[in-house]
Amino acid sequence: MISKEKIRELEAMAVKLRRHIIEMTCAAASGHPGGSLSAADIITVLYFYKLRHNPKDTAWPERDRFVMSKGHAAPVLYAALAEAGYFPVEYLKTLRRIGSSLQGHIDMLSLPGIEMSTGSLGQGLSAANGMALAARLDKKGYRVYCLMGDGECQEGQIWEAAMTSSHHKLDNLTAIVDHNKYQIDGRVDEIKSLRPMPDKWKAFGWNVLSCDGHKIESIIESLEKAEKTKGKPTIIIAETVKGKGVSFMEENPLDYHGRAPTPEEEKKALSQLCQVEDFEI
Amino acid sequence: MSERKTAATRDAYGKVLVELGKENPNIVVLDADLAVSTKTSMFAKAFPDRFFDMGVAEQDMIGTAAGLAAAGKIVFASTFAVFGSGRAWDQVRMSVAYTRMNVKIVVTHAGITTGEDGASHQANEDIAIMRALPNMTVVVPADAVETEKAIRAAVKFYGPMYIRLSRPKTPIIYENADCDFQIGRGIVVREGKDVTIFACGLMVSESLDAAQILEKEGIRARVVDLHTIKPLDKELIVRCAQETGAVVTAEEHSILGGLGGAVAEVLVENEPVPMVRVGLKDIFGESGKPEDLLVKYGLTPADVAGAARAVLRRKK
């Protein structure tokens, strides 16, 4: 059982990540804050609770693998890696600058700790399958995690990969959908509906779970259920809110899919993302 | 065609993969429902645990290959050339080339000699689109002997490779396995000083036959097996241009962007000499017997010899 203190600690970390997302996209004057904010709690649980990883040894063969298939949510991953100690937090301000390792979409060759380069949607799950198959071939116990966007599931390759995961009974793989209901052009339901999403994944042979993607306990509980599931891969459909944590982004998620906050908006956003450490015991 | 012994490059691939599988337990092979045709079925039979048939899903195959490579495997991914290059191009670009993964994309049924299946299955653009990718090495072996050497070299080479093989049996150039294959190094297979014919794949044999035709006319043609289209052997190309003063390229591929395009780029910037490209002239193929298609689309020894005569008329 996870302690209340740990949960509070993780909640505080999620706030930190959200502040980083706002600050780094504002500094870059571009980037994707909306889908980064929606994934902040999921990424927090993965990097500060679930993943076995070592920032000092990024090539550790036994490490768990995380593939960020929705590569545009790079800011939240960079924020987590910085807070975990992969590189100094100050470096986050170089996001999207020429010469920076913090590319607009994630690049594994320029930043240690990244398992797969992404940005062209729909490709992460196939790579995650490859890693899970390799773990099996090498008789290694690491788990593979893959985070996808909901709009991303319109890509055909996702479903090719979904068949591969279940065909090979990859129970060492947990996929998560950041179900924030929006894509660039509008509501996913209006652009090209994915409903019924759980049934689709079930029909593709997956164990399907859902969670509140902004509730630490709910995310942890579903990840642990996934780990205990044998004989098939698990997907967690995480119900999330695009722009979560910043009122004016939540209210206008389409505007903030791929637009950074202005300095004025940054101030407003940061005032809503309170410094939780101030209240820590 | 010539009177040389023949063998299919894809058969050589299948055989050498099995040998390599025995030598190296880290090799994993993927196919996309064409294992019987690409000959990876031989590996599948020998090492069922290290073979994955990804079904009719080339994009997923390339992505999965990248994931396996990310975890340290040497991955061979095979399908027909049209699908391995075109259908999965963005996956190759994003998950294999950009990431510099140790994935060897070995395709068969390249070019017009794929034959009866028709234009949908005849990849005549794949060299162009694969060589445009940073980090990608592109190899087109001239025969079955060189194929074996190229596949062995691929295992020792770290990084993404695209290796292009054919469907039909093609003439053996390197008898007695006498082939000094090195990635990125062209091989002069026939000396000559009047004109250089740079060729790859089946067209090396066609060019050697063309050189015999030309010899009877007193034209001494040098023939170079330019098996590695990328990285290109610039030094050799420039030297041959300097020494012979005229160049022909011959490839079973479009004249746009492939071997001919690559050689032209080097010559224009370094040693401009008259040049003629032999290849598919910006046109789709069609169904037919490979040998008939080679005639109809201008890929015979006579066509290469004709190109040599034409370029010699422009030689200063």
3-state SS, residue A210? strand
Task: Verify whether the Cβ–Cβ distance A123 to B70 is below 8 Å.
Answer: no
CA-to-CA dists, residue B97 to A18, A25, A156, B46, B52, angstroms: 32, 28, 21, 29, 21
How far is Cα B232 from Cα B236, in angstroms, rounded to an integer? 9
If we measure between CA atoms, which residue out of A220, A215, A222, A217 comes closest to residue A198?
A222
Q: Are residues B237 and B154 in the same domain?
A: no
Judged by DSSP in three states, A144 sits in strand
Burial of B114 (0-12, 13-18, 19+ CB in 10 A): buried
* Token pair in block for residue A199: 């049934």
Return the pLDDT at A277.
54
The per-residue pLDDT for range B61-76, each reduced to its tens digit, is 999 999 999 999 999 9
Q: Which residues contact B223 (CB under 8 A, 6 or more apart)?
A: B188, B189, B190, B192, B196, B197, B199, B204, B207, B208, B211
- Give the residue among A259, A241, A270, A252 at the shortest CA–CA distance from A39: A241
pLDDT for A279 equals 53
Inter-chain CB proximity A134 and B91 less than 8 Å = no
Inter-chain touch A133–B94, beta carbons under 8 Å: no
B220, B161: one domain: no
Residues A73-103: tens digit of each pLDDT: 999 999 999 999 999 999 999 999 999 999 9
**Sign of the CA dihedral with B251 first, then B204, B224, and B84 last:** positive
Say how far residue A139 (Cα) sits from the centre of its chain: 27
Give the number of domains in chain B. Answer: 2
Phi, psi of A248 (to 5 degrees): -75, -20
Q: Same domain for B109 and B243?
A: no
ipTM: 0.96
**Confidence class of residue A275 from pLDDT cuts 50, 70 and 90?**
low
Domain that holds residue B156: 6-171
Note whether B133 and B194 are same-domain residues: no
Q: Among B171, B205, B226, give the residue marking a domain's end.
A: B171
Task: Name residue B103's beta-bridge partners.
Answer: B75
pLDDT at A281 over 50: no
Looking at the structure, do residues B38 and B117 belong to the same domain, yes or no?
yes
- What's the whole-number mean pLDDT along residues A9-13? 97
Closest residue in A to B100 (Cα) is A109
Asked whether the predicted pLDDT for residue A70 surpasses 80, the reply is yes
What CATH fold (topology level) applies to the domain A4-279? Rossmann fold (3.40.50)
Whether residues B95 and A127 touch (CB distance < 8 A) is answered with yes
B22 burial via Cβ count (<10 Å: 0-12, 13-18, 19+): exposed
For the segment B235-291, what is each residue's pLDDT rounded down to a tens digit?
999 999 999 999 999 999 999 999 999 999 999 999 999 999 999 999 999 999 999
pLDDT cut 70: percent of chain A above it: 98
A274 touches chain B (CB under 8 A): no
Report percent pLDDT > 90 for chain B. Answer: 97
CA distances from A3 to A17, A216, A223, B237 (A): 21, 11, 17, 70
Residue numbers in B near A71 (CB within 8 A): none
Q: Of the listed B58, B146, B206, B251, which one is catalytic? A: B58
| Residue B1: per-residue pLDDT | 47
Q: Using 50, 70 and 90 to split pLDDT, how confident is the model at A278?
A: low
- Say whether both B16 and B156 belong to one domain: yes
Q: Is the domain of B62 the same as that of B198? A: no
∠ CA B259-B34-A127, nearest 5°, is 80
B220 & B124 share domain? no
pLDDT recorded at residue B176: 82
- Mark yes or no for CB contact A127/B100 under 8 Å: no
What average pLDDT score do residues B21-35 get?
98
Q: For residue B304, is it within any domain?
A: yes
The residue out of B147, B171, B195 marking a domain boundary is B171
Does B257 lie in the same domain as B226? yes
Closest CA to B161 of B131, B186, B190, B185: B131
pLDDT in tens, A21-36: 999 999 999 999 999 9
Q: Are B250 and B300 in contact (CB under 8 A)?
A: no
Q: Are residues B166 and B204 both part of a single domain?
A: no
Q: Mean pLDDT of all residues in chain A? A: 96
pLDDT of residue B167: 97
According to the 3-state scheme, what is the secondary structure of chain B?
Answer: CCCCCEEEHHHHHHHHHHHHHHHCCCEEEEECCCHHHHCCHHHHHHCHHHEEECCCCHHHHHHHHHHHHHCCCEEEEEEEHHHHHHHCHHHHHHHHHCCCCCEEEEEECECHHHHHHCHHHCECCHHHHHHCCCCCEEECCCCHHHHHHHHHHHHHCCCCEEEECCCCEEECCCHHHCCCCECCECEEEECCCCEEEEECCHHHHHHHHHHHHHHHCCCCEEEEECCEEECCCHHHHHHHHHHHCCEEEEEEEECCCCHHHHHHHHHHHHCCCCEEEEEECCCCCCCCCHHHHHHHCCCCHHHHHHHHHHHHHHCC
Let me know if residue B180 belongs to a domain.
no
Shared-domain flag, residues B147 and B207: no
CA distance B312 to B187: 23
Pair (B217, B165) in one structural domain:
no
Residue B177 lies in a domain: no
Mutate to test the interface with B, among A131, A166, A173 (most CBs of B within 10 A): A131
| Both tokens assigned to A198 | 């759980």
Active-site residue flag, B58 = yes
Q: Two tokens at A27?
A: 């500094």
pLDDT at A1: 79
pLDDT in tens, B117-148: 999 999 999 999 999 999 999 999 999 999 99
Domain presence at residue B47: yes
A residues 153-172 lying closer than 8 A (beta carbon) to B: 156-157, 160-161, 163-164, 167-168
Q: Which helix (H) or strand (E) holds A203?
A: helix A197-203
For chain A, the domains span 4-279
DSSP state of A241: -
Question: Contact at 8 Å (CB) between B71 and A131?
Answer: yes
